[in-house]
Amino acid sequence: MSLTISIDAMGGDFGSKVTIPASLQCLAANPNLTLILVGDELILKESLTQALIDYPERLKIQHASQCVEMDESPSKALKNKKDSSMRVAINLVRDGKADACVSAGNTGALMATARFVLKRISGIDRPALISTLPSIHGHTYVLDLGANVDCDAKHLYQFAMMGVEVVKAIENIKNPTVGLLNVGEEEVKGNMQVKAAAKLLAASSLNYIGYVEGDSLNAGSKKIDLIVADGFVGNIALKSIEGAVKMVANSLKKSFSSNLISRLTGLLAYPVLKSFKESVDPRLYNGASFLGLKGLVIKSHGGADALAFETAIHIAEIEVKQQVTEKIIKKFEAIAAEKADL
């Protein structure tokens, strides 16, 4: 199956220095993939002279005269940057010229622009960011990771509905387990939104297993396929985990360099430490999908390097192939039809 992905080539902390090598890696890996790199034509053409010869059909450049700054406010970007690489890349999805868009640009601007250009799927009040986190059981899908800071029970319910479609499509799991992030597993625990959402989820067709605590994101007692949270909480949990992993890695490095003997031990242990480092490499988990719009947008970490950005493009490839957006649209059409039948 051939597929086309638009790349916001100027987005992120490093712009085309990262997006170009990542794109070329993906083109080499997947002969069915076409990429449209969006950005300053002059800069892109100069860096892509050889690549355009190597991939005459599968590598395209789309000019965009502007660039959204990393600290620009979403509303300003939306108003003043109508020819930004981000906006044009998303337009290509709306116009059916690309199946998905990947950007490492300013998160707020990306979400506002995607929402404005692509529009919401009928039945979904708020789009949400979903990604996987590594866990001792493999990995866990989590949403919302920060698209919404004030969610009510209905939003959490819709997040669960969307997230389950992603897990089903990508992981090929028939009836994914769904947990609701909370401060305790007992029924009495939680704030009002969570308690109300628990009722909706328990009454739904989903395989809802109840409340789960923060440690379930990476190391719960059992495997949970999908964990649902308010975007405020989800984002803080995600960043807390990033910080914890960084701290532990830092401690490990310190322990292996505290004196000559430990440094020598570190040299001996290098292959093992390398394999360990790879097993918790956050770059292999880069890329959150913005769900709930009539088109797919993948948000890469702003500071992503080429390997991390490559991961984000791979996520786009998989989600396009598995028709994630189409499945969410269908699901919410079915929910609407059920309601109409009542």
Q: How many residues bind its own copies (CB under 8 A)?
A: 65
Does the footprint of its own copies cover residue 303 (CB under 8 A)?
no
| Candidate ranges 109-117, 142-150, 287-295, 316-324; the one touching its own copies (CB under 8 A) | 142-150
CB atoms within 10 A of CB 112: 17
How many Å apart are CA 261 and CA 280, to the nearest integer?
26
| Candidate ranges 58-66, 203-211, 273-281, 310-318; the one touching its own copies (CB under 8 A) | 273-281
From 71, 96, 260, 340, residue interacting with its own copies (rule: CB under 8 A): 71
Contact between residue 156 and residue 230 where contact means Cβ atoms under 8 Å apart: yes
| Candidate ranges 26-34, 47-55, 97-105, 256-264; the one touching its own copies (CB under 8 A) | 256-264
Q: Which is nearer to its own copies, 122 or 262 (CB)?
A: 262
Can you list the positions of beta strands (E) in the chain? 3-8, 33-39, 59-63, 100-103, 128-135, 138-143, 177-181, 207-212, 226-228, 288-291, 296-299
Q: Which is nearer to its own copies, 88 or 110 (CB)?
A: 110
CB atoms within 10 A of CB 55: 19
CB of 254 to its own copies, least distance (A): 7
From 29, 52, 203, 247, residue interacting with its own copies (rule: CB under 8 A): 247
Does the footprint of its own copies cover residue 244 (CB under 8 A)?
yes
How many Å apart are CA 101 and CA 78, to the nearest integer?
17
How far out from the chain centre does Cα 306 lie?
16
Indicate the SS3 state at residue 304. coil
Q: Are strands 288-291 and 128-135 parallel, antiparallel or unpaired?
A: antiparallel
With CA atoms as reference, report the closest residue to 104 among 310, 306, 303, 285: 303
From 174, 275, 337, 340, residue interacting with its own copies (rule: CB under 8 A): 275
Q: HSE on the CB side for 320, CA within 13 Å? A: 26
157-216 residues in contact with its own copies (CB under 8 A) are 181-183, 186, 188-192, 213-216
| Candidate ranges 39-47, 172-180, 251-259, 317-325; the one touching its own copies (CB under 8 A) | 251-259
Does the footprint of its own copies cover residue 105 (CB under 8 A)?
no
From 256, 305, 307, 335, residue interacting with its own copies (rule: CB under 8 A): 256
Q: Which is nearer to its own copies, 218 or 300 (CB)?
A: 218
| Candidate ranges 123-131, 268-276, 299-307, 334-342; the one touching its own copies (CB under 8 A) | 268-276
* DSSP single-letter state for residue 301: P
Q: Which is nearer to its own copies, 50 or 275 (CB)?
A: 275
CB of 301 to its own copies, least distance (A): 12
> Which residues have CB under 8 Å from 232's CB, separation 6+?
146, 148, 149, 150, 151
How many Å apart are CA 199 and CA 197, to the nearest integer?
5
How many Å apart are CA 250 and CA 231, to the nearest integer?
28
Q: Which is nearer to its own copies, 21 or 266 (CB)?
A: 266
From 95, 122, 276, 334, residue interacting with its own copies (rule: CB under 8 A): 276
Does the footprint of its own copies cover residue 221 (CB under 8 A)?
no
* DSSP single-letter state for residue 98: -
Does the footprint of its own copies cover residue 272 (CB under 8 A)?
yes
> Which residues have CB under 8 Å from 341's CB, separation 6+?
none
Contacts with its own copies by CB under 8 A lie at: 71, 73, 108, 134-136, 146, 149-150, 181-183, 186, 188-192, 213-220, 229, 231-233, 235-252, 254-256, 258, 261-262, 265-266, 268-269, 271-273, 275-276, 279-280
